[in-house]
Structure 1
Amino acid sequence: MNFSYSGVDYVITSMYSVLDDAWYLELAVSADQRHVATAIVPDEDPRREPVVRFHPGGAPLSLPYAVMRWFLDRVEAEVRSSRAWMELRPELVAVIHALRQEHLGIIDDEDFTAVLAEVRASVPEADLPIVLAAAFERRPDGSSVREAQD
């Protein structure tokens, strides 16, 4: 993802760290690959908060407001998409977190019916779509949430 401002090109790269269970978004100056900041957005543990780290190594760098705003807007979008489920009621967060830990966010079609029954026993029916989408990106009928978005 690139952004030009006053003749300087900036780039954001995004990667997932399995070891950290977090998304890393890195802001750099394109021309010299100068690393400016890293946002870390944990997506598994509700107790861990997103953070931004700055890398001032080398000569001082004045970062234009528009560039910082662009970077933070992208970080905010990642926080929303990765952590939205953490804003639900505490009892739902606990269920989703447990499911994500147990199944690592993936569930086979043949196991879905059994897990669905377990989830139905622990959450109200009205919350079922939210819990299944957050834990497995699936609907109660087993279809993918992403298929509807594409």
Structure 2
Amino acid sequence: MSVPHPGGAPYAITVLYSVPDDAWYLELELVGERPALVTAIVPDEDPAREPTVCFDPGRHLDVPYEVMRWFMDQVEEEIRTSRAWMRLRPELVEVVHRLRQEHMGAVEDDRFPQVLEEVRAAVPEADLPAMLAAAFGRRPDGTTMDGPRAPRPADDRGAGT
């Protein structure tokens, strides 16, 4: 997916998911040119891996402040939506990480009651809504969360890098 700069500057952000890296890649590009000027990598499966920003060492190009600010705002939003679950209490992060690994970030509707029972056995009832939203983008009643992007199943993450 490519998102053009909203102010009409000749820049765009390409967003892709790398399955082998378990990370979202956001690439700031000068429209029509490759490679990317700046790449942000946002891991979404491993709490120990931090987001990083990489610059193309082979190019020197002055990027307008407003464009870089727009890019970093997009990176910040990706970090917020992809890694919000990592801000839960450490014991809950452990449970969410295990569930995301076990279920690949998604649960089929017919399996949800069984998984809900498993989560209820592992965490206090007060933490249930946060756990389900963080692990699967769902509410305790099984409905999906409204928002920019609920966690996606592994086979729906798009082309890898």
Q: Could you say whether these structures have the same fold, taking a TM-score greater than 0.5 normalized by the shorter chain as the test?
A: yes
Query: How far is the alpha carbon of 1:109 from its aligned partner?
Result: 2.1
Which has more strand, going by share of residues? Answer: 1
Aligned residue number for residue 87 of structure 1: 87
Paired letter, 2:111: D
**TM-score when normalising by structure 1:** 0.89
User: Is the Cα contact below 8 Å between 1:14 and 1:23 reproduced in 2?
Assistant: yes
Paired letter, 1:120: R
CA distance in 2, matches of 1:34, 1:40: 15
Aligned residue number for residue 2 of structure 1: 4
CA distance in 1, matches of 2:105, 2:140: 15
Computing the radius of gyration from Cα coordinates, the structure with the larger value is 1
Q: Which runs of structure 2 are paired with 1:1-150 in the superposition (5 Å)? A: 1-3=3-5, 8-58=9-59, 60-146=60-146
| CA RMSD, 1 decimal | 1.9
Pick 1 or 2: higher relative contact order, CA cutoff 8 A, min separation 6: 2
Give identity over the alignment, percent: 60
Gaps of 5+ in 2: 150-161
Change (3 A) 1:34 1:106: closer
**TM-score when normalising by structure 2:** 0.84
CA distance in 2, matches of 1:67, 1:104: 34
Which has more helix, going by share of residues? Answer: 1
What per-residue deviation string (whole Å, max 9, x for no partner) do you get for residues 42-66 of structure 1? Answer: 00000000000000324x2112211
Gaps of 5+ in 1: none
What number of residue pairs does the alignment pair up? 146
CA distance in 2, matches of 1:113, 1:8: 49
